[in-house]
Amino acid sequence: MEMDRSGKKRIVLKIGSNVLTKETDHISRGKIEDIGRQIVALQDLYEFVIVSSGAITVAKQFVNLESNGKEINVKQALASIGQPHLMRIFQESFRDLGLLTSQCLLSYSDFEREQSKKNIVNTINVLVANNYIPIINENDTVATDEIQFGDNDKLAALTASLLEADLLVIATNTNGICTKESVENSTYQTINEVDDIDLLTNEIVSSVSTHGTGGMTSKVQAASIAQNSAIETWIVNGLEDDFMMNAMDKRVPFTKISRKCSFSIEREG
């Protein structure tokens, strides 16, 4: 797929609900500002596309909906209420840093149709070329049990693949993926670099995040999708300030899942 690119490396950054809330019940403006400050610091070398969770979490701050049927319907309604609030927080926080934002809502079916895929690529390329940061979320309001992503990790990986990103960064609430043994004995040793997804899968301890719908399993599945498109994935601790810059400078532990051929991305300067 032809791309008119700026020459910058393209990073797809996925931000989980636990990161956006800093593991509370409220969206953290400070965390969103931290993300924005990093983008400002890196924008000469990198262009960013954000995949953000958090719409349902935001809505829960404002409303408590009565359930008149399936739980999925309540979640869809909460997403509808929360999404504009989430975008407003991003817009206000980023605007104060001189950054422009735009909203993109995608459904699983969009990745099944060739015309939809072309439209996504063309639209996002126009936005990025004009210095707008696309902020992508699943279109929960129209998703159903069968076709919803279930977790934005997969959405981020599909997006990275479609946009031919150079790097997928998944910001979560741990220092990457730890070995199973270290989790079981509470020493938490991060797996620094791996190229074999199957080996990584065997190290996962089954758990689902507090606010999100996924866990490390969905992140490894996302890394597999990215790897199949020759995209490197970093799983980093987004709760820490400057998590992307610190990972680039190798100041913090995180898990790097390499693409199938050798590849590295470094922070210059």
pLDDT value of position 40: 98
What's residue 145's pLDDT?
47
Give the containing element (helix H, strand E) for 14: strand 9-15
Which two structure tokens, joined as six digits, stand for 193?
């670099």
Given this model, what pLDDT does residue 183 score?
A: 82
Rounded Cα distance between 215 and 169, Å, is: 15
Residue 170, strand partner residues: 14, 235
What pLDDT was estimated at residue 157? 96
Q: pLDDT means per 10 residues in the chain (269 residues)?
A: 67 95 92 98 97 90 75 83 94 98 92 95 97 91 56 92 97 90 86 89 62 69 94 97 97 92 49
pLDDT at 251: 96
Which of helix, strand or coil describes residue 250? coil
pTM above 0.85, yes or no: yes
Three-class secondary structure assignment of 39-79 = HHHHCCCEEEEEEECCHHHHHHHHCCCCCCCCHHHHHHHHH
Query: Largest Cα–Cα distance in the chain?
Result: 56
The strands making up 9-15's β-sheet, listed across from edge to edge, are: 100-106, 132-138, 46-52, 9-15, 167-172, 232-237, 255-257, 193-194
Q: Are 172 and 238 in contact (CB under 8 A)?
A: yes
Question: For residues 269 and 267, what is the distance between their CA atoms, to the nearest angstrom?
Answer: 7
Tokens 């960013």, located at residue: 48
Q: What share of the chain is helix, strand, coil (3-state, %, to 5)?
A: 40, 15, 40
Nearest to 54 by CA among 91, 80, 79: 79
CATH number of the structural domain 9-257 = 3.40.1160.10
Q: Enumerate the β-bridge partners of residue 12.
A: 49, 168
